[in-house]
Structure formats: C-alpha cells, structure tokens
C-alpha cells in the first residue's frame, strides 16, 4: 500500500525560489513530463534544507541558478589543438559548424613551457599535444575568420598564461574587438602544475606573482574575462580520489584568493569571475555527489575564511572534462560508453560547461569523425535525454546525499591539514599533495593489476583479435591522428620567417622595458602586450623572466 503524501508546510525559501524561477522561464516551471524541481516526499527538517536548500541559493548544493539548464544549457566547449595554427583553425571551424558553442584551446608542450617552436628543447614535441603558438602571427592564424566577440575562448595554459592572453588581446583588437568585450577563460592555475603536470617554469613565488599580475590586469581592463580556472582535473587524472580532488582544488583556490587580497583587489569583484575545472570520472554516482559537495563546501569556505556573504561571490562555477584516464586503447569503441556516463554525471551534477573526450584519445589526437561523435554526445544529452528539464534530478536520493556529505567531510579534513601546514603553497612545497595522490594512484594500479577493480576490455572481457571498427576503412580498429615531422619543420620555418620580418630594434626595446618592469615588481602584463605587438616571441618573453626569476628545478617533492 502506498503511503499517502503529507502536504508540505508553506516554506518561504521555496516560494522565493519559485518566484525567481518563474521570472526566468515563466510557466515552463511546471511544464514537461518531470517537474523542474521535486520536493521531498515528506515535510523536510531544517537540517536537510540547510544542507541542500534550493537551486540558486546558498549553499548552492542544487546548483548556482534557480532554473539551471531549463533557463540556459551548459556551454558545449570541445578542447582542440594540434599540428599547426592553421590545422587547429580548421578544426575550430568544423566544431563551430557542428554546433559547438565555445572554443577551448590546447597548446603544445613547448608553448606551455615557454619555448618557441624552433628552440632545441622543442624538437619532437611541436604540435604533438596541442597547437604551437610562438608569436602574434600564429595567434592570428589560429583565430582567422572567427569572431572573437561572438565565441568565447577558453585557454588551457598556465606558466605562459601572462603571454598567451596578451597575444589573444592583440589579435582581438586588430579585428576590432576591444579587450573590454573579449569573453572567455584562461586556466592560469600554476599551483597544480607543481603537483600533477609539471609544466611550471619559475619558482612558486614568482609564478604566483605572474598569475596575480594577469588577474589584476584582467580585473581592470577585461570585465568579461574569467582570469583563473582553478583545476582539479589534472590532480584527478594523476590518481586523486574525489575528496582529494575537491580538497586540493579548493585549497589552491584559497591561496589565490589570499594572494589577490594581498594585492589589494576587492574580493567582491574578484570572486564572481573565479572559476573551477573538474574531472568527471567513471564512478557515476560519486561524481554527481562530488560536484554538489564542491559547490556547497566552497560557498561555506568563502564565508568562513574571508567573511564574504554575498551569494554571487560564493558560487562555484565550473567546467568539466570527461576523464582521459578512463579511456582505453583496447576496444576503444567502449570509450563512447565511458564518456557518455561521465558526461551524464557532469550534467546531473550541474556543470556550467563541458568537454567530452573522443573515443580515440587513448591512441592519439582525436580524428575528425571521433571529434564529431564526442560533440554529438553532448548534443544528444542536451536535446534528447531530458536531463536538462529538471534541476538537480538526483538530489534527495539517499545514495547521492550520503556521498555528498561524505565527500564534503573528507575534503574538510584535508583542508584542515593543509591549513595546519601553512596553506596550499607550503603543502605543495612539502610534497603533501603529490604524496597523497601518488599513494592513491598506486593503490588503484595494484587493484587493477590484481583484477580487484575491473576495467572492461583490459583486465576482463578482453579480445585478442577484435574485429569491430567504429570507422570502417583500411585495417582494423581506429586510425589515430598523427603529426608528421614535416608539420614540425613547417612551423619552425614560420617562426624563423617571423623573426626575419619584424623590426629587431623595437623588439629589443620592448624586452628591455619588460625586464625593468619585472625587476621593479610592477604589473608586467601591459609590457608583455606591448612586446608581442612589436613582434617579440613567446620564448623571448619567457626568457626575460627566466633571467630575473630563475627556473624551478624538478623536485621529488613535486
């Protein structure tokens, strides 16, 4: 026998949420086969409402907007970059034509590490894992024919972010788009590089100074630009648990907020444009809970740590990428299933933008058919599945709420340990983050090796001679995108030609000014912009800072 449902007492918080929702989307609040927001089946207690609340209201467990995707879908932002600026421009156009709503740029390792494409240390890596950008000419080619006032741009770049953003500003302003109208995001999160990726150049204190210089410049001159995206994705890819990903990401964010406050910037202006970047891993229910826990914990941390109470400043806005570490070279067609589950978890968890990995990324750069399928996966979720119709549809489920509480509690314990050490920078320098992640990565590797944790097609359900090919053609399996030595040689020639055709005297003067500004402690970004406009290369600017700050040597602590 079905238990009759008790009538809920009038709740002013629900009434306020419903008023805001109706103002945003009108009668569609009640439309569709599933209501926009499902209340608990019984009269909820105050503790539950304090933890979960309503969408668009602190602590934002159920989302940062009252109507979430019914009012506005997540941004479809596929991550692309390879070979050359010209090839990447073609891929951008292909994705935009296919319905992508935002651009996301992957840079190659030389660019990430502050080397021009013709530097000896760049040999063999040019264009391999992203687009090579050495000068203003490369950036012009990358965005040729793309309206930078219409498409927002996300750039996954850290150590050289204070160079790449000025290059983008220069190209936009050449095309008639002032920096004040340039929208997008730069990662600019150098701290996690010392933990999980290793594309740092300078010592941590110097790197933090450059990151805050870019934040300060963007705050004053680029009101639509998101100047930092604090990233947990790379730590999760390195082996972090869900709770470690949340804790270490938020600890780094606290360090950036403190650095910005020390610079004298207003937190009420800074915090609303602080954004985050998380992985969506294969553990479906835990990932939904992780996103909810991260939102709630950040809202509380901002108030507890900085005394900021305004709702907008306490919102955690984030981009999500499906887990590259879950992709397998064996039976790669299964990666479509994995990516779909991970993308679904991200949307059920309330992401603001999303990248879905291509099925062939365990083999190489994504091919055009695989990139199209990854894009269509998002579009099917958005347009066909119905997940966008209801806010936080998993909310209230016992398993989800328990996992949300557990992840928040575990993350708080880590945060307390980090604070006791003196904050994120000290904890990173001591190797605490890297050590905790390494232990978890080792545990998982051993469990999979022993068959205690299943990876379909790898340690169970293997096929020695698979005959299935998702993209028919010569041979079997999936043909990966390859970058040839000729592609690298052509890029090296382009950089050499750029240097020959510029005015060397103007470049030397610009670099001298940049050196003096760097040594004085003033904000470097205006001088970087002036330098790249007269033809200075990314490597030359990075070398100025190498001469002033020195380089951070590899360390077992990192």
pLDDT bin (cut points 50, 70, 90) of residue 112 is: very high
Residue 73 DSSP symbol: P
Helix (H) or strand (E) holding 282: none
For Cα atoms 418, 422, 428, give the angle at the middle one, nearest 5 degrees: 60
Rounded to whole angstroms, the Cα distance separating 460 from 454 reads: 7
- Partners of residue 75 on adjacent β-strands: 353
Cβ-in-10-Å burial (0-12, 13-18, 19+) of 264 comes to exposed
What is the average pLDDT across 58-65?
A: 94
pLDDT of residue 448: 95
- Quickly state the pLDDT bin for 558 (edges 50, 70, 90): very low
Q: How far is residue 44's CA from residue 390's CA, in Å, rounded to a whole number?
A: 20
Model pLDDT for residues 466-487, shown as the tens digit of each residue: 655 555 544 445 666 778 899 9
| Strand-by-strand arrangement of the 274-280 sheet | 75-76, 353-355, 317-322, 274-280, 228-231
Strand order across the 153-156 sheet: 79-80, 103-106, 153-156, 184-186, 225-226
The answer, yes or no, to whether residue 415 has pLDDT greater than 80, is yes
Strand duo 153-156 + 353-355: pairing = unpaired
Would you state the structure tokens that stand for residue 164, as one six-digit string? 């790449």
The tens digit of pLDDT for each residue in 261-283 reads 999 999 999 999 999 999 999 99
User: What is the three-class DSSP state of 464?
Assistant: coil
Q: Three-state DSSP class for 105?
A: strand
Taken as a whole, the chain contains a residue count of 558
Would residue 307 count as lying in a domain?
yes
Helix (H, G, I), strand (E, B) or coil at 361: coil
Helices in 40-84 by DSSP H: which ranges? Answer: 46-52
Count Cα neighbours of 370 within 13 Å in the Cβ-side half-sphere: 29
For the segment 361-388, the average pLDDT, to the nearest whole number, is 93
Q: What is residue 19's predicted lDDT score, i.e. its pLDDT?
A: 85
Asked if residue 205 belongs to a domain, the reply is: yes
Bridge-partner residues for 103, per DSSP? 153
Residue 185 domain-assigned?
yes
159: helix, strand or coil: coil
3-7, 418-422, 543-547: the lowest-pLDDT one: 3-7
Band of the pLDDT at 187, cuts 50, 70, 90?
A: very high
Q: Is residue 419 part of a domain?
A: no
**Contact 213/161 with Cβ under 8 angstroms?**
no
Per-residue model confidence (pLDDT) at position 14: 79
pLDDT in tens, 495-520: 999 999 999 999 999 999 999 999 99
Question: Does some domain include residue 464?
Answer: no
Range of the domain at 220: 69-386
Please give the Cα distance from 500 to 493 (Å, whole number): 11
The count of structural domains within the chain is: 1
Residue 439 lies in a domain: no
Q: Is residue 467 part of a domain?
A: no
User: Which of these ranges, 41-45, 376-380, 384-388, 514-518, has the smallest mean pLDDT?
Assistant: 41-45
Helix (H, G, I), strand (E, B) or coil at 474: coil
User: Is residue 255 within 8 Å of 424, Cβ to Cβ?
Assistant: yes
Structure token pair of residue 375: 């894009």
Q: What is the rounded CA–CA span in Å between residue 552 and residue 200?
A: 7
The DSSP annotation for 386-418 comes to -TTSSSSTTTT-HHHHHHHHHHHHHHHHHHHHH
Q: Which residues of 168-196 are buried (b: 16+ CB within 10 A; e: fewer)?
A: bbbbbbeeebebeebbbbbbbbbbbbbbb
Find the mean pLDDT for residues 109-134: 96
State the CATH number of the domain containing residue 120.
Answer: 3.20.20.240
Q: Report whether pLDDT(7) > 70.
A: no
pLDDT(141) > 60: yes
How many whole angstroms separate alpha carbon 442 and alpha carbon 460?
Answer: 20
Whether 220 and 269 have beta carbons less than 8 Å apart is answered as no
- The answer to whether 17 touches 10, Cβ cutoff 8 Å, is no
Instruction: Give 298 or 35, the one with higher predicted confidence.
Output: 298
Q: Is residue 241 part of a domain?
A: yes
pLDDT class for 21, splitting at 50, 70, 90?
A: confident
**Tokens representing 496?**
């050499």
Strands, E, within 171-328: which ranges? Answer: 184-186, 225-226, 228-231, 274-280, 317-322
Q: Determine the Cα–Cα distance for residues 426 and 466; give it in Å rounded to an integer.
A: 49
For 72, 152, 532, the CA distances from 147, given in Å and listed in that order, are 22, 9, 21
Instruction: Please state the rounded mean pLDDT for residues 15-40.
Output: 75
Instruction: Quick: pLDDT tens for 423-445.
Output: 999 999 999 999 999 999 999 99
User: Percentage of the chain surpassing pLDDT 70?
Assistant: 93
Per-residue confidence band for 1, with pLDDT thresholds at 50, 70 and 90: very low
Give, as one character, the DSSP assignment of residue 107.
B
pLDDT reading at 557 higher than 60: no
Mean pLDDT for the chain? Answer: 91
Distances (CA, A) of 227 to 58, 68, 223, 297, 467: 24, 23, 10, 22, 47
3-state SS class at 188: coil
């Amino acid at each position: 026998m079905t238990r009759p449902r008790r009538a809920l007492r009038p709740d002013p918080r629900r009434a306020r949420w419903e008023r805001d929702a109706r103002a945003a989307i009108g009668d569609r609040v009640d439309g569709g086969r599933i209501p926009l927001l499902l209340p608990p089946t019984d009269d909820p207690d105050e503790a539950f409402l304090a933890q979960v609340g309503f969408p668009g209201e602190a602590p934002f467990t159920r989302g940062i907007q009252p109507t979430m995707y019914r009012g506005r879908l997540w941004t479809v932002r596929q991550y692309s970059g390879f070979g050359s600026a010209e090839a990447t421009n073609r891929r951008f156009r292909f994705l935009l034509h296919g319905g992508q709503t935002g651009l996301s740029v992957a840079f190659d390792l030389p660019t990430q590490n502050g080397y021009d494409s013709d530097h000896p240390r760049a040999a063999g890596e040019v264009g391999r894992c992203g687009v090579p950008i050495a000068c203003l000419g490369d950036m012009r080619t990358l965005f040729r024919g793309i309206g930078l006032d219409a498409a927002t741009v996300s750039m996954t770049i850290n150590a050289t972010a204070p160079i790449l953003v000025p290059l983008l500003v220069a190209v936009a302003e050449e095309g008639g788009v002032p920096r004040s109208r340039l929208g997008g995001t730069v990662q600019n999160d150098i701290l996690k590089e010392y933990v999980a990726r290793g594309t740092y150049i300078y010592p941590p204190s110097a790197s933090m100074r450059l990151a805050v210089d870019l934040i300060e410049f963007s705050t004053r001159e680029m009101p639509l630009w998101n100047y930092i995206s604090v990233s947990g994705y790379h730590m999760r890819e390195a082996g972090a648990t869900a709770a470690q990903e949340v804790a270490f990401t938020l600890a780094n964010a606290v360090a950036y907020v403190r650095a910005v406050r020390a610079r004298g910037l207003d937190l009420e202006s800074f915090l609303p444009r602080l954004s985050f970047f998380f992985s969506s891993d294969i553990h479906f229910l835990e990932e939904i809970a992780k996103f909810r826990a991260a939102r709630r914990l950040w809202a509380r941390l901002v108030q507890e740590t900085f005394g900021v109470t305004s709702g907008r400043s306490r919102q955690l806005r984030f981009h999500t990428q499906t887990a590259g570490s879950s992709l397998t070279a064996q039976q790669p067609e299964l990666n479509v299933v994995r990516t779909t589950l991970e993308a679904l978890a991200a949307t059920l968890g309330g992401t603001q933008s999303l990248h879905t990995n291509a099925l062939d990324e365990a083999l190489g750069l994504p091919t055009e058919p695989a990139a199209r399928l990854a894009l269509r996966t998002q579009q099917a979720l958005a347009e066909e599945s119905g997940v966008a119709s209801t806010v936080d549809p998993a909310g209230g489920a016992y398993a989800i709420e328990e996992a949300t509480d557990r992840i928040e509690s575990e993350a708080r314990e880590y945060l307390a340990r980090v604070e006791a050490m003196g904050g994120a920078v000290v904890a990173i320098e001591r190797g605490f983050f890297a050590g905790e992640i390494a232990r978890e990565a080792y545990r998982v590797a051993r469990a999979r090796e022993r068959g205690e944790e299943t990876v379909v097609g790898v340690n169970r359900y293997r096929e020695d001679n698979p005959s299935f090919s998702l993209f028919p053609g010569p041979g079997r399996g999936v043909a990966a995108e390859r970058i040839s030595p000729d592609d690298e040689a052509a890029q090296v020639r382009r950089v050499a030609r750029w240097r020959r055709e510029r005015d060397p005297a103007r470049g030397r003067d610009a670099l001298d000014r940049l050196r003096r500004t760097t040594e004085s402690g003033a904000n470097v970004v205006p001088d970087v912009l002036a330098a790249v406009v007269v033809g200075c290369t990314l490597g030359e600017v990075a070398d100025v800072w190498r001469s002033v700050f020195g380089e951070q040597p590899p360390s077992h602590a990192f």
